[in-house]
Amino acid sequence: MVDRLKGNLVVGQSGGPTAVINSSLQGVLEEAKCHPEIQGIYGMLNGIEGVLNENMIDLRKQPPATIKGLSSTPSAALGSCRYKLVPDDYAKILGVLRAHNIRYFFYIGGNDSMDTSNKISQAARKEGYELRVVGVPKTIDNDLKMTDHCPGYGSVARWAAISTMEAGLDTAAIWVVDKVKVIEVMGRDTGWIAAATTLGKRSEDDPPHLTYLPEVPLIPDRFIDDVKTVYERIGFCVASVCEGLKDENGEPLVESKRAIDTDTFGHKQLGGVAEYLSQLVMSKLSLKARFDKPGTIQRVSMMMASKVDLKEAYNVGQAAVKQAIKGVTDKMVTLVRAPGKIYHCSTGLVALEKVANVTKAVPRNFINKEGNGMTDEYRRYAMPLIGDPLPKYVKVKKVLIAKKVNS
């Protein structure tokens, strides 16, 4: 018999916003309203800091149109944070949860958020306070273990694929001036987003011609040789890179040295790899090189959101509430891909302790043997996640007429 625990619910969002994180929030809210044992439905403002500071809002008082509109609204509607709990925080958090009779705790986020959820659950258990804690996965980095993929990735992958196709057309048009372009996308420890820049390729000569991930150390001389090879073959080169590229010693190629650019989890702000590599090309090959670094806009593009991603983001939020009502706690909802050629994903569960602070790298068989591109295995994995087919851009055939003056 299911233990129908009565009490209030609180939900929060943490880490980098995405195009679909609000769909997960919508899933939580709409499912919560279906269960009479869930009384108050509260939202943490700016993640766990909202509980610490007792800044919570009554989500039952939101107009129905606002709840419905969450699925078409990017970024984090409740506000986000990057806050690492310290020992003194637990007593304060439990005090707030007790005061508001919060018995259901849902946190939408990535690795660090699952760690926060796990620690709060442990603290509640230690104090004998019944609290059902369920993590809702979210990260554009796609680096949560024990789940096939993460809500947020399909949309940023779609954005990366289309944006690279279009940036490649720009370079193909003006190659007589700009010979090399380096496109830098997000990704601290893994190269899942950089990998997605290749999904629009339909032939070897389609951009990006080269792609580099942190999973394979970047050797500058080898990079230069790769660029030279492509340039000599087609007259220009487009490379996509991840901001977290590592050198042979496993250290970031470029990272901020300023203390202000390091968050409470010890993560240093990355960025600048594309500029560094562009300068390298100009100095070593004497070719004009440009770089594109889109920054945070890539993770919240609703215009390029994947319909598959939106649906799955909603599903994991909904599943979290359903499982908590059944008595589940200390778990994160996962996406489980069914075997076979037809894509289908259902939801599952995994212990929070198995995903907290653990990173899933891009498998080596998804990266080509040269370390500068992706394989068909990756393409088969990622294409279903980006939703509708990518646009098809045409190429004008270069059928030259006979010269009459300069022959």
Active site residues: 141
Locate 105 and state its tokens: 């705790």
DSSP string, 64-75: HHHHHHGGG--S
Burial class (CB in 10 A: 0-12, 13-18, 19+), 68: exposed
Contact predicate 239/208, CB 8 Å:
yes
Rounded to whole angstroms, the maximal C-alpha distance in the chain is 91
Q: Let me know the angle formed at the C-alpha of 359 by 353 and 360, rounded to the nearest 5 degrees.
A: 115
With a CB cutoff of 8 Å and minimum separation 6, the contacts of 184 are: 240, 241, 242, 243, 271, 273, 274, 291, 292, 293, 294
Q: Let me know the angle formed at the C-alpha of 243 by 256 and 118, rounded to the nearest 5 degrees.
A: 85
R_g of the chain computed on alpha carbons:
23
**Cα–Cα distance for residue pair 231/221, rounded to 1 Å:** 15
Residue closest to 103 by CA, chosen among 49, 39, 184: 39
Strand partners, 262: 268
Query: Pseudo-torsion of CA 104, 110, 116, 119, nearest 10°?
Result: 80
**Cα–Cα distance for residue pair 228/225, rounded to 1 Å:** 5
Contact predicate 299/18, CB 8 Å:
yes
Residue closest to 80 by CA, chosen among 11, 132, 31: 11
Alpha helices by DSSP H, listed for 174-254, are 192-196, 220-234
The count of C-alpha atoms lying within 13 angstroms of the C-alpha of 374, restricted to the half-sphere facing its C-beta, is 32
